[in-house]
């Protein structure tokens, strides 16, 4: 969606058909794509808060996309251990980002995770 804006459901189906994605991963993948898309304003807010001196607009599209995906999993996917999400996001950053992407992504997702833990929430 960062590279080709449009209807996420249409684009998801188009990509699955074009790349012959197996049916076994489509439901989970669609949940991630749609979840990130529907919650991107909230995810971007959390990423901005966690990335002290980095504006979201200055981040590479690849890093920003990985951060949104990782933040969505950490904040909304309770069945996925946050440490697993962070490890996978770091590996994606290393593979598809720059030499610094892995550490950058790790730092931001770790901050989001630590801020989202119940013992860090403020009760009224």
- What pLDDT band is residue 86 in, cutting at 50, 70 and 90? very high
Q: What is the pLDDT of residue 3?
A: 72
For helices 40-50 and 61-76, give the axis angle rounded to 10 degrees. 100
- Residues 22-50: tens digit of each pLDDT: 989 999 999 999 999 999 999 999 999 99
pLDDT at 124 over 60: no
- Between residues 100 and 123, which one has the greater pLDDT? 100
Mean pLDDT of 57-73: 95
Cβ-based neighbour number of residue 12 at 10 Å: 19
Nearest to 72 by CA among 43, 93, 51: 43
Query: Which sequence spans correspond to the domains of the chain?
Result: 1-38, 39-120
Confidence of residue 116 (pLDDT cuts 50, 70, 90): confident
- The per-residue pLDDT for range 68-77, each reduced to its tens digit, is 999 999 999 9
Averaged pLDDT score across all residues of the chain? 89
**CA torsion angle 63 57 12 96 (round to 10):** -20
* pLDDT on residue 118: 63
Q: What CATH topology corresponds to 39-120? A: N-utilizing Substance Protein B Homolog; Chain A (1.10.940)
- Is pTM beyond 0.85 here? yes
């Amino acid at each position: 969606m960062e590279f080709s804006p449009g209807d996420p459901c249409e684009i998801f189906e188009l990509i699955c058909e074009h790349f012959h994605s197996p049916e076994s991963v489509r439901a989970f993948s669609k949940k991630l794509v749609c979840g990130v898309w529907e919650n991107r304003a909230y995810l971007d807010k959390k990423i901005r808060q966690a990335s002290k001196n980095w504006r979201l607009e200055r981040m590479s599209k690849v890093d920003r996309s990985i951060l949104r995906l990782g933040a969505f999993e950490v904040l909304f996917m309770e069945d996925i251990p946050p440490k697993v999400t962070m490890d996978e996001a770091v590996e994606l950053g290393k593979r598809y980002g720059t030499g610094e992407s892995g550490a950058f992504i790790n730092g931001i997702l770790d901050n989001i995770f630590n801020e989202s833990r119940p013992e860090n929430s403020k009760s009224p």
